[in-house]
Chains A and B, each alone.
Chain A
Amino acid sequence: MSYDRPQELLKPVKRRFITLTFALALMMELLPLPVGSTRWLPDFVGLLILYWAINQPRRIGIGMGFLIGLIVDVSTNSLFGQHALAYSVTTYLVMLRQRQLVMFNLGQQALVVLTLMLANQLIMALIRLALGSAFVGAGYFLPPLMGALLWPLLTKLLLLPYRHHTL
């Protein structure tokens, strides 16, 4: 399992594709979903940033994480710089160990992603608490768990266009 991905020879990833995935994730963010669902829906943009930072570190780095975070801040109507700070910190953490992370199998990666997404939520919660909001409860840390569970599926989906279909 842990060897199958590095052995595969994939087509190079296009910049267009990365932009498209982020556009789709932002649209998910803007969907008028029923209120209860936001309690457990994972932060898709955060997941994608982690995915591309792990797999394409030359394309999506700390600076891109910061910029995309700013866009998310505007679209989710939260404070300016809240998501930007969280995303730039987590991309930095990915960059520290990126060479190891790409070699992990999906299960191990999912664990790392869980920790990083939790760090995301923790940073945003700390910012809100520092600016005087009341804490919203432990349910705030449920979305990272869903995100980690979705990680293998997301990875498979994003690899689909880059497989050589020679089966």
Chain B
Amino acid sequence: MNFANTPRFSNQGLRPGSQLLLCTLTSLALLVGDSQFGLMDRTRDALSVVLYPIQRAVNMPMAAAAHIGEFFITQTALKQENAELRSRELAQSARLARLTSLEQEVQQLKALNGLRTNNLQAGQLGEVLYTARDPFSYKIIIDKGLDAKLAAGLPVVDERGLLGQVTRVQPLTAEVTLIIDKNQMVPVVNQRTGQRSLLYGYGGGVEVRYLPAAADIQPGDLLVTSGIDGLYSEGIPVARVTRVDRPAGASFARVLCQSIAGVQSSRYVLVLPPRAAMPPRPAPAPQPAKPKKKKDTEDEG
């Protein structure tokens, strides 16, 4: 029998100190291997498949509760929503009519210029399975993976704007790194002025870095993807400028932004298909011709 206070009569196994040493060394090795060299991706893939049924099972009651909640919605709420949607549709259709004519115009202009148009295809709709509890990692797991032909690098949006990018694809799930994660970078363009810049995540928010202190940027400016990186298609809203500091003596302005998409609140996300292949980079300029070897030897001799 195993009671809590049964004293150990014989020494079994390693002593606690050496056990701790062993575990610490192993976990440090794992940490370095995972964060610096990405050695653990295969293991993670395998374990994620094992965890997937549990994730789905845990999600089920929540989904059922949401479903029941929707069923018992009141008549007035439905009516109100209906009216609201109808008025919105009217406004949208007017805008849409204007947009289609504009689109035609653009198509014509582009055709005149001999440019290719990138037509937006429908993306993959994914549901957020869970967000990591660890407040240091700004990542979400969605329920589409290799089975839906996702690939690392695809942009992910919600109904308002850019959410992030698929960074890790597992057989049934995929990990999306949000734009507010540390080291995430999005090339953006200021919609008001057309100035291009880079939007950096710093872990919990986004900011524009390396913008000259004299640059024309104001709170309220909308930043959209510029599309020049060959990854995000252009024109997806990303963030709105909230504060601009121009510290005296610094050469760069400090531009804080608020992301447009519900970066930490969306339940359904859309994974956009990869962009059509970009035209290849122009070949690098030929190196200036080196002085001929013969001449060199002559000079030396």
Contacts and interface: CB of A to CB of B under 8 A. Distances in A.
Contacts of B133: 29, 38, 41, 43, 76
A99 B16 CA distance: 14
Contact of B137 (A56, A71, A78, A102): A78
Secondary structure at chain A's binding surface: helix, strand, loop or mixed? helix
A136 B136 CA distance: 7
B20 A88 contact: yes
Interface size class of B (residues with CB under 8 A): 35 or more
A59 interface: yes
A50 to B, nearest CB: 14
B40 to A, nearest CB: 5
Contacts, number: 140
Interface residues of A, number: 55
Contacts of A62: 16, 19-20, 23
Interface of B: 1-6, 8, 16-17, 19-20, 23-24, 26-31, 33-35, 40, 43-44, 47-48, 51, 54-55, 57-59, 62, 128-137, 139, 141, 175, 182, 202-204, 264-265
Nearest to B140: A77
B13 to A, nearest CB: 8
Given A27-B54, A127-B31, A133-B203, A56 B24 contact: no
Contact of A89 (B24, B129, B202): B24
A55 to B, nearest CB: 5
A6 B29 CA distance: 41
Contacts of B136: 78, 124-125, 128, 133, 136
Interface string A113-130: 000000000001101100
Contacts of A57: 4
Given A58-B2, A63-B23, A136-B204, A80 B265 contact: no
Contacts of A13: 2
A140 to B, nearest CB: 6
B20 A77 contact: no
B135 A79 contact: no
A31 interface: yes
Interface string A11-36: 01100000000000011011110010
Interface in A128-154: 128, 131-134, 136, 140
Nearest to A55: B4
Contacts of B264: 35
Nearest to A23: B54
A99 to B, nearest CB: 7
Given A85-B24, A102-B4, A136-B204, A76 B51 contact: no
Nearest to B40: A80
**3 closest cross-chain pairs (CB), A and B:** A81-B30, A81-B27, A88-B23
A14 B236 CA distance: 56
10 contacts: A32-B62, A35-B264, A56-B4, A80-B30, A80-B44, A81-B28, A85-B31, A89-B20, A128-B136, A133-B182
Given A65-B23, A84-B23, A89-B20, 9 more contacts: A31-B62, A31-B130, A32-B131, A38-B133, A80-B30, A102-B5, A132-B182, A136-B136, A136-B204
A51 to B, nearest CB: 11
